[in-house]
Amino acid sequence: MSVELPFAPVDTIIRRNAGGLRVSAEATAELAERIQRRGASIAARATEGADAEGRKTLMPADFGVEEVVDPDALELPIAPVDRIARLDIDDRYRVSMDARIALAQLLEADADDIAEGATRLARHAGRRTIKAEDVRMYLELVE
């Protein structure tokens, strides 16, 4: 699976949670890959809601999102999130613009949680740099 998310927005997300710690490029890459996998999985599960209602278009409610935020308030760009949504679903489904934004909203919230947890782990280890192992370890602890 190729990583669809651009590096810069994911790096911005992890750095806003780093609290003065440095961030390795590998940590950013690991976070991008992990939230991309989550996004593809979330979209695949969202098709169940559309199927149940006889729709071929995914809507925000299929992602469990009641209120969609303004896309300008998000760090993650919508176009790559759209490609992520389509990774594990077949071509008969469409993804509405609001559903793309809703998925970006969910992924950004997940990325913030993971980045915050990785920051705590790096501090606990006495390091001044967040590493990919911190991202992996946090996910192992919470999953």
Over residues 56-78, the pLDDT tens digits come to 999 999 999 999 999 999 999 99
Residue 87 confidence (pLDDT): 93
Closest CA to 13 of 128, 119, 100: 119
What are the chain's domains? 7-142 (1.10.20.10)
Residue 3 has what pLDDT?
A: 67
Q: DSSP secondary-structure letter at 60?
A: G
| pLDDT confidence of residue 1 | 62
pLDDT reported for residue 4: 81
pLDDT of residue 33: 96
Contacts of 129 (CB under 8 A, 6+ apart): 21, 22, 23, 24, 122
- What is the reported pTM? 0.94
CB contact set of 82 (below 8 Å; sequence gap of 6+) = 95, 100
Which pLDDT tens digits describe the chain residue by residue (143 residues)? 676 899 999 999 999 999 999 999 999 999 999 999 999 999 999 999 899 999 999 999 999 999 999 999 999 999 999 999 999 998 999 999 999 999 999 999 999 999 999 999 999 999 999 999 999 999 999 98
